[in-house]
Amino acid sequence: MAGGQGSRLRPITDARPKPMVEVLGRPVIDFVKDSMVQGGVDSLIVTTGYRGEMLAAHVEQWNTESTSGRINQEHTPMGTAGSVRLLMDEITDTVIIGSGDSVASFDVAALLQAHKDSGAKATMALWEVEDPSPFGIVGLSNSEEGDVDGELREGYIRKFKEKPQPEEAFSNVINAGLYILEPEVMALVPEGEKYDFSKNLFPRLLEMGWPMYAKAIDGVWFDVGSPTELIRAQHVLIEQRNTLPFPMPDGSVDGNGSFVSNSAHIGSNIELHKSVIATGCSVGDRSTLLETVLMEGASVGSNVSLSGCILSPGAIVEDNVSAVNIVLGDSECLKTNDNRLS
């Protein structure tokens, strides 16, 4: 599923859909694609909406001798389940559905096996959080009709709750945006109607008494829906690079936790701390970057100080600029007299 606009990431998403935003130099959608391929999936369809043409060009590169990839463009927003319902003629067997705008280390093969062993009609990947209040939580039981046990990380789904207050939180596991469904579940989605998995379809399955299963994933999970989360995702991937199943781009990690691409041009007397310098980027002399991300082809001048900033592909920061928490869109320029600095 890759139809969202990613409005909270503007201006980054003014020129690209959220699934094409880069994390460590890779489009976000490639992380879930890799998980699916590693789990044995050989046919991939991407449901697109906003700026679908960019996704179409990217997905074309997925086609190999063993894997096929294509898009299905929706012309009217149909919701998460409604967008997949457009492909109903092709859903003749168990289908794996993932969100193309999150970074996660899904073990798709293990989730599929849990789905088959449980006899469920639908299986959901979960992620454990410390504070469940901003999310929709899931309550699990050891049996299809058992009571909710907040300590479980795998079991039958018995209850949902959106954005619970502390006293309402019966668990701290949340929907991680990957589902395994049988065709008869997708057939419940109304044709031609905007319909969501979490808001509409899954509560309906509970009401109908159809068995639903869930299993928490290990490793990492990020929604990358905001600049802060986008920066944090890069930090964690760098820190855990030796234990995760994701390939690192060509480059090196320094002692301060910064990644620098082999093709980047770095000046003299610069200071980097937990930053990302991607392919084709440049940083001028005597500049300091703290928790800052430079996407492909972005450039920073000399005597520049940036903290908590994101530069989209081709963005430029001129000499002698100091900025905090600035996000530049594709090919935008930040100057010393720019009113964005205030």
Widest distance between CA atoms in the chain: 65
Query: What would the pLDDT profile of 143-197 be if each residue is shown by its tens digit?
Result: 888 888 888 999 999 999 888 888 888 999 998 889 999 999 999 999 888 899 9
The arithmetic mean of pLDDT across residues 3-27, rounded, is 85
Tokens 């990644």 — which residue? 259
Q: Closest by alpha carbon to 157, among 196, 204, 95, 192?
A: 204
Q: Which residue has the higher pLDDT, 248 or 332?
A: 332
Percentage with pLDDT > 90 across the chain = 46
Residue 170 structure tokens: 């019966």
Q: Is 115 helix (H, G, I), strand (E, B) or coil?
A: helix
Helix (H) / strand (E) element for 276: namely strand 276-277
Query: What would the pLDDT profile of 82-106 be if each residue is shown by its tens digit?
Result: 889 988 988 999 999 998 888 888 8
Tokens 């309550």 — which residue? 139
Q: Is 1 helix (H, G, I), strand (E, B) or coil?
A: coil
E-strand ranges in 199-246 read 212-216, 221-222
Assess whether pLDDT exceeds 70 at residue 342.
Answer: no
Give burial (CB, 10 Å; 0-12/13-18/19+) of 192.
Answer: exposed
Q: Closest by alpha carbon to 286, among 298, 273, 270, 264?
A: 270
Query: What would the pLDDT profile of 287-324 be if each residue is shown by its tens digit?
Result: 999 999 999 999 999 999 999 999 999 999 999 999 99
**Is the Cβ–Cβ distance between 324 and 341 less than 8 Å?**
no
Phi, psi (5° rounding) for residue 279? Answer: -55, 130
pLDDT for res 281: 95
**CA-to-CA separations, 141 to 157, 182, 259, in angstroms, rounded:** 7, 21, 43
Q: Determine the Cα–Cα distance for residues 82 and 193; give it in Å rounded to an integer.
A: 6
**Is the Cβ–Cβ distance between 156 and 212 less than 8 Å?**
yes
Phi, psi (5° rounding) for residue 127? Answer: -135, 135
Give burial (CB, 10 Å; 0-12/13-18/19+) of 144.
Answer: middle
Amino acid at 69: G
**What structural domains does the chain harbor?**
7-222 (3.90.550.10), 249-341 (2.160.10.10)
Q: Is 52 helix (H, G, I), strand (E, B) or coil?
A: helix
The arithmetic mean of pLDDT across residues 28-33, rounded, is 90
